[in-house]
Amino acid sequence: MIFYFSGTGNSRWVARGLAQHLSESTLVDIAAALRAKQHDFSLQPTEMLGFVFPIHSWGIPPLVRSFVDSLKISGYAQQRVFGVFTCGDECGYSNIDFKRLISAKGLTCRHIYSVQMPNTYICMSGFKLDTPELETAKMVRAEVDVQRISDALRADSPIQQYHQGRYNFLKSRLIYPGFIRFAMDSRPFRVDERCVSCGRCERSCPTGNITLDAQNRPQWARHCVQCLACLHHCPTQAIDYGKHTQGKGRYTRFASDTDGK
């Protein structure tokens, strides 16, 4: 069983790859489970338990924390538990925080890895998408990393596959709390005249934070998780986050998906 949270498709791509390599048939969308108030799950004796999600500002997304806090797993008898984080570059102390989070649920996790994927966060000055060349290079490496992680999980032999980075106390203990407190704000979102009222932003939002007004144009509520699914999945790039995202392009891993989860 693999739980995943994904806004632009990176983590879903990794979760699907792992499921294929590991022959794990159950994939659970964390955001959908939270919306449905589904917290009880049963683990089979030979089944692994995995968590795949993006790193937000060198930390665990609050939505993932909420899900794990409410999670109830029956049938757990020391089956393999793993966490795989997707990141543009580095993950900081997210591995330490994830172990604490999982341990509080009575789960033992020996496998924590990260997979570098194309960057998606563009809501601040200095943050932008990867070049096409870097995006391609990351995806080539990601294919190899997912296979290596799958092999390690099958053999139950942990490997070194985690991009912690530098200045981790600063990033994970100072910047991350500030990001959660001040940057997870939906008020800067704007939609312009390019909007074609397709509703893809509403469908792609994992938390149901977007509704459509009488003209079928998006309106944002106040429980945004900064996954940027709405912004990146807009087919006409009509959505911006203030002025920070203007002219920066857009990215999704599954360009043909209309729901983008």
pLDDT of 153: 97
Directed axis angle between helix 10-22 and helix 132-155, to 10°?
30
pLDDT of 58: 97
Mean pLDDT, the chain, integer: 94
pLDDT of 24: 84
pLDDT band, very low/low/confident/very high, at 195 (cuts 50, 70, 90): very high
Domain range list for the chain = 2-155, 183-241
Fold type of domain 183-241: Alpha-Beta Plaits (3.30.70)
Indicate whether 46 pLDDT > 50: yes
pLDDT digits (tens, 9 = 90+) for 139-183: 999 999 999 999 999 999 999 999 999 999 999 999 999 999 998
Fold type of domain 2-155: Rossmann fold (3.40.50)
- Range list of β-strands (E), 95-169: 111-116
Residue/partner pairs of 244-248 with CB below 8 Å, 24 or more apart: 244/122, 244/123, 244/124, 244/125, 244/127, 244/188, 245/122, 245/123, 248/122, 248/128, 248/129
pLDDT of 2: 98
DSSP helix/strand/coil, 50: strand
pLDDT of 260: 43
Name every residue whose Cβ is closer than 8 Å to that of residue 136 and which is 6 or more positions away in sequence: none
pLDDT digits (tens, 9 = 90+) for 28-42: 999 999 999 999 999
